[in-house]
Amino acid sequence: MATSVDDIDELAPVRVQRFAKGFEGVLTRYLDGEIVVVGHGTSCALTLNARVASVSATAAMIRHGSGLIFVAMQQSRLAELRIPPMPTDVASRCSGCHVAIDASDGIGTGISARDRGETLRRLANGESVPEDFRRPGHVIPVAGDLVVGGAAATPQIVLMLASLAEGASGVGAFTTLMSVEHPCEVATPSEGADIASRLGYHYVDGHVVRKAFYGYSWPSRPACGLSSRTRGPIVG
């Protein structure tokens, strides 16, 4: 059974206010459209607030990641946009993946950082309709809803981060961070923290995100989920 972030209080243990020092900084940088590296399991993901995805940040995700950009969002929103799931078996590593899409207009081939950034922002726009997208494309939406009794994988962790920052409407882009030492392999959390430091990104462990999601309330969260620095056109 899947659940949305609106149902979290029914699942959460006692809500507390003891969390990793500096997590407010993670949310602020995420809201401002900066890349945040999230370590989870044996790998890391580059994550980005899809609502304010700039060309430069999207290009950085492509450059340092696997090349595939995913978007964690709620299943109900995917249904509203009529983006169908990919047919997969139960053991698939991408059981929540949906058909890849592009923005239906205002882009070129769809594969450039500029084009994919436009698709990301459009996916995060609550006023978008099915006609705003074409299929197939170059951005892969993934249902990141929590599943009762199931383990939280990367899409769920990314959607938790997005929801902490922007509430139930949060949409998070992500890609697997690749190793610098072994370019054909994914970066481990240890290497991911080093890469984040070198590139000037914030690093956070997925366990910290989960802990925050189940019991954190950020009283100073900006109105509409956006900080003052994210308002206006996305030109970077």
What letter would DSSP give residue 218? -
β-pair type (172-176, 43-49):
antiparallel
> What's the pLDDT band for 152 if we cut at 50, 70, 90?
confident
pTM: 0.82
Its CATH architecture, for the domain 21-218, is Alpha-Beta Complex (3.90)
Tell me the domain boundaries of the chain: 21-218
Per residue in 185-215, pLDDT tens? 999 999 999 999 999 999 999 999 988 888 7
pLDDT in tens, 98-143: 999 999 999 999 999 999 999 999 999 999 999 999 999 999 999 9
What pLDDT is stored for residue 89 in this prediction?
A: 64
Q: In the chain, what is the straight-line distance between the N-terminal and C-terminal CA atoms, in Å?
A: 40
Cα–Cα dist 29/18, whole Å: 20
Q: How many residues does the chain have?
A: 236
**What is the DSSP track for 10-24?**
HH--S------TTHH
Q: What is the pLDDT of residues 169-182, one digit of tens each?
A: 899 999 999 999 99
CA distance 204 to 201: 10
Closest alpha carbon to 120 in 139, 136, 135:
139
The structure tokens 């997005």 sit at 162
User: 87 vs 222, which has greater pLDDT?
Assistant: 87
> Residue 67 has what DSSP assignment?
S
DSSP letter assigned to residue 50: G
Give the chain's largest Cα–Cα span: 49
Would you say residue 19 has pLDDT above 60? no
Q: Above 50 in pLDDT, residue 6?
A: no
Beta-sheet strand order (sheet of 36-40): 101-103, 133-143, 69-73, 172-176, 43-49, 36-40, 202-205
pLDDT at 88 over 90: no
